[in-house]
Structure 1
Amino acid sequence: MASSTNAGDREKVVSKLPGWLRQELKVRAAQLGVEIQSAVESGVESWCALASTPGAVDTAGAESFATWLPPGQWSRFRAAAAERDVTLTQGLAQSVRLWLDMNPSPAVKREEFPRRVVVCNQKGGVGKTAVTAGLGEAMAEAADALHPVRVSKYLAAAIQQNGVEGDPFALEDLPGLGMRVLLVDFDPQGHLTKQLGHEPLPMDGDSLTRHMAGEAAGELKDLVVAVEDDRFGDRLHLLPSCNDAFLLDVKLAGVRAREAALERALLAVEEDYDLVVVDCPPSLGLSMDAASYYGRRRPGETAGQSGVLIVVQAEDSSADAYELLTSQIEDLRADLALELDYLGIVVNHYDARRGYIATSSLQAWMDIKDPRVVGLIGDLKEQKEAVRMKRPLLAYAPRCDQSVGMRALAREIS
């Protein structure tokens, strides 16, 4: 059915499509950045131009579907359907299927070597582990499904509430990034490992620490475990912690070129991933030097592709810790002539109801500009519940504000 009501110079068309085909159309249009009505228009045009009728599409359970087409196109489509002796529902389904076949999903871009994000702050309790996990989960979500995202370009305006057209808190369903992600639990406390439902590696076995110290007892890839959930497929993996990481700084003191020890160890598994996210310990020791070195810009790598992501809270002690961390990073840059990029600041556990301390501290972070604030994650119950359940946050509560914020962060630094 076509209606004379129009949007611009188009006419409204109402027919039917099966739910599975409508969802595939919605996802593909989002992946390619085109409007659904434009996709349907193109599909109908191509279908009408075919010399013969394509294979039938299963339209069982088809439900009402409305879109806008150019004037006259629906009439031509109806005539073609009558000539081919197919129902309008079947013809429309074939048209959509044809467009999908002619416009395949874009492949996930694979870099020469993986991006490396070092999540750090020498102050404990700011939520580095939660941000590490959430960022990795957001990067690994399926590219053939839609997930709610708060559009990252509105981040600063959403915080400051000034001068953005439209709702800065609006959500948009976007395809996942579909990246192959390795989360590295580089903290001897092992919180990341435990939160994702795994146990730390045994002290008497192989570990990342042993590989960094030149005492490896096997292949590093054999220590990697999968974070299992359908939304991540087999794209999200974890290198668990081991309690021997408490000894890492002592062991590194006797290692040649110790600042490169983490890189030497992880090179053995890098080719399997698009992104490696390192959850750092709350310290400024030799292990932090090694983590920072790992995040450096490699020859031929684009600026801002890898680097350090600093997690803070909107309170004064985070500011003090930030100064210590950035001083260490600047010293490392100078001493080793590193190109080490700041990917940004994530303000975590934010709650404006805490009043002036929180809001004024947030403004102070926003005023830094370089590095800029790239994420604002609320202090809500879902993260704590996910930790208690030992499940990834984006699997436990995929539509909660914290999950939405993690996806925005992923896009902001991707």
Structure 2
Amino acid sequence: MTSPDTRSDREKVVSKLPLRLRQELKIRAAQRGVDIQEAVETGITTWRSLGSNLSPIDTSGAESFATFLPATQWTGFRADCKDRGVSLIQGLAQSVQVWLDHHPAPAVRRPAIVRRIVVCNQKGGVGKTAITAGTGEALAEDPTALMPVRVSKHFAALLDEANDTDTDNGGDRYDPLALEDLPGLGQRVLLVDFDPQGHLTKQLGQEPLPMGGDSLTNHMAGDAKGDLRDVIVAIDEDRFGDRLHLLPACTDAFLLDVRLASVRAREAALERALAPVEADYDVILIDCPPSLGLSMDAAAYYGRRRPDEVPGNSGTLIVVQAEDSSADAYDLLTSQIEDMRTDLALELDYLGIVVNHYDARRGYIATSSLQSWMDIKDPRVVGVIGDLKEQKEAVRVKRPLLSYAPRCDQSVGLRALAREISK
């Protein structure tokens, strides 16, 4: 059945397609960056050009499927199906399969040099741990499945929406029109809990490393007791496959600054410790402690731009809140980073600012502070994450947020953040 499409020279076509092919077509089209209608058009054109019939496809349970095709293509396709003695449903299924066979899923893009993202702010309570975990989860999601991502909104539009408190979702509007289903990024990710408080470790349902055993602190201090891989654990959730790993915290990190004071080239201690495992990952995220001490120096140094590394591949991601004390802490942190840039002649990139725990219902302080962050152009705001209940619930049940509530507004925003800093 067809009907005119007044928007172009295409006509709407309604037929049926097996659910398996519909899903595979939707995912593959998104992976290849093409419209579904273009994929079907190309598949039909290729199918019609073949000189022989293809093996039949099981179309039992086929469900309604609609698309737009160029005018007259469907008529010619119907005639070809009749000549070949196949039903329209069978011909369409074969055409879609032909397109899938000719357009395999693209390989996951992997960086030439492991990306090192240092999530930091010397002020506690801004949500560095949640941003570290959520960004890592978004980077590691299944590349063969589609995830809702907020990509069509510019931050100016987001600000306008955030200022509108007449919403149904706790002051943070969930607008389906601003979402797009995209394949997961499929990156191999290591989350490093660099904070002796161990919030990242506990939130992901893992136990801190025992005192007296091996730990990141020991490796940084030159007292390693084994292979660092032996203390890394996988986050066992289907949507991440075996791509999301954690290096747990150990309370011996409280002594890290003291131990680093006697270490040679102490600013490079974190890099020396993690170097043996870098080849296993595409991205390493460091959840920094709320500190401006030697450990922060080592984390910042680790995020510096290496020889032959493109700008923006690695660097610091600064997490703030829309309130005044975050601005004071931000000034202290950026002063430390600028001092390191100068004293050690580092090329240390800012990946951006994330405004976390945002809630427009808090009034002028929140909205005006958000605008102030937006006004900073270097580093620029790369994400605004709402203060909603799902994150707190995920922490309570010790599960990754993107597994616990994959379609909540925070998950959608974290996927956008992961893509924004991956451009």
Q: Paired residue for 1:378?
A: 386
Match of residue 192 from structure 1: 200
Choose which of 383, 390, 400 in structure 1 pairs with 2:398: 390
1:10-409 superposed matches below 5 A: 10-151=10-151, 154-160=154-160, 170-409=178-417
Q: Distance in 2 between matches of 1:122 and 1:384?
A: 22
Deviation of residue 153 (structure 1)?
A: 5.4
Q: Mean alpha-carbon deviation: is it higher for 145-154 or for 196-205?
A: 145-154
Distance in 1 between residues matched to 2:152 and 2:311, nearest whole Å:
20
- Paired AA for residue 100 in structure 1: L
Amino acid at match of 1:156: A
Q: Letter of the 2:201 partner, please give it.
A: T
SS, match of residue 173 in structure 1: strand
Q: Is the 8 A contact 1:155 1:168 kept in 2?
A: no
Q: CA distance change for structure 1 residues 99 and 177 in 2, over 3 Å: closer, same or farther?
A: same
Kept after mapping to 2: 8 A contact 1:152/1:409: no
**Cα pair 2:152 2:180 within 8 Å, conserved:** no
| AA at the equivalent of 2:415 | R
CA distance in 1, matches of 2:260, 2:115: 24
Distance 1:360 1:60, change over 3 A: same
How much does 1:402 deviate? 0.4
SS at 1:250's partner residue?
helix
Tell me the CA shift for residue 217 of structure 1: 0.7
- In the alignment, the residues of structure 1 paired with residue 177 and residue 371 of structure 2 have an alpha-carbon distance, to the nearest angstrom, of 18
Amino acid at match of 2:245: H
Q: Which amino acid aligns with 2:105?
A: S
User: What is the Cα deviation at residue 210 of structure 1?
Assistant: 0.6
1:155 deviation in Å? 2.1
1:187 positional shift: 0.5
Using the TM superposition, give the Cα deviation of residue 288 of structure 1 relative to its aligned residue in structure 2, in angstroms. Answer: 0.2
Give CA-to-partner distance per residue, 1:156-177, whole Å, 9 cap, x none: 3321469xxxx89711111111
1:309-361 superposed Cα distances (whole Å, 9 cap, x missing partner): 00000111111111110111111111110000001100000001001111111
Q: 1:42 to 1:337 in 2, by over 3 A?
A: same
Cα distance in 1 for residues equivalent to 2:54 and 2:177: 44
Q: Is the 8 A contact 1:180 1:236 kept in 2?
A: yes
* Alpha-carbon distance between aligned partners in 2 of 1:328 and 1:152, rounded to the nearest angstrom: 35
The CA deviation string for residues 143-195 of structure 1, in whole angstroms up to 9 with x for no partner, is 11111111165123321469xxxx89711111111111110000000000010
8 Å Cα contact 1:57/1:90 also seen in 2 = yes
Secondary structure in 1 matching 2:154: helix
In the TM superposition, what is the alpha-carbon distance from 1:59 to its structure 2 partner? 1.7
Q: For the Cα contact (< 8 Å) 2:147–2:183, is it kept in 1?
A: yes
Q: What letter corresponds to residue 304 of structure 2 in structure 1?
A: R
In structure 2, relative to structure 1, the CA distance for the partners of 1:186 and 1:222 (3 Å cut) is same
Q: Which 10-residue stretch deviates more, 253-262 or 64-73?
A: 64-73
Between the aligned partners of 1:44 and 1:6, the Cα distance in structure 2 is: 22
User: Aligned letter for 1:341?
Assistant: D
Output the CA distance in 1 between the equivalents of 2:59 and 2:270: 54
Shift of 1:70: 1.2
TM-score, with structure 1 as normaliser: 0.96
**For 1:261, what is the secondary structure of its paired residue?**
helix
The aligned amino acid for 1:260 is A
The whole-number CA distance in structure 1 between the counterparts of 2:102 and 2:414 is 33
1:9 equivalent in structure 2:
9
The alpha-carbon deviation at position 205 of structure 1 amounts to 0.7
Using the aligned pairs only, state the percent identity. Answer: 75
Distance 2:24 2:320 in 1: 39
The alpha-carbon distance between structure 1 residues 200 and 349, as it changes in their structure 2 partners (threshold 3 A), is same
The TM-score with structure 2 as length reference comes to 0.94
1:3 CA drift (Å): 2.7
- The structure-2 alpha-carbon separation of the partners of 1:294 and 1:375, relative to structure 1 and needing over 3 Å to count, comes to same
- For 1:125 and 1:308, the matched residues in 2 are separated by 18
Evaluate the alpha carbon distance shift between residue 77 and residue 142 of structure 1 in structure 2; reply closer, same or farther with a 3 A threshold.
Answer: same
Unpaired segments ≥5 residues, structure 2: 163-174
One-letter code aligned to 2:389: K
For 2:94 and 2:42, locate their aligned partners in 1 and report how far apart those are by CA, in whole Å. Answer: 12
Q: Helix, strand or coil: the match of 2:76?
A: helix
1:157/1:168 contact within 8 Å kept: no
Please give the root-mean-square deviation of Cα atoms over the aligned residues, in Å.
1.5
Which residue does 2:419 correspond to in 1? 411
> Any conservation in 1 of the 2:152–2:178 contact (CA below 8 Å)?
no
SS in 1 for 2:276: coil
Seen in structure 2, the aligned counterparts of structure 1 residues 5 and 367 have a Cα distance that, compared at 3 Å, is: closer
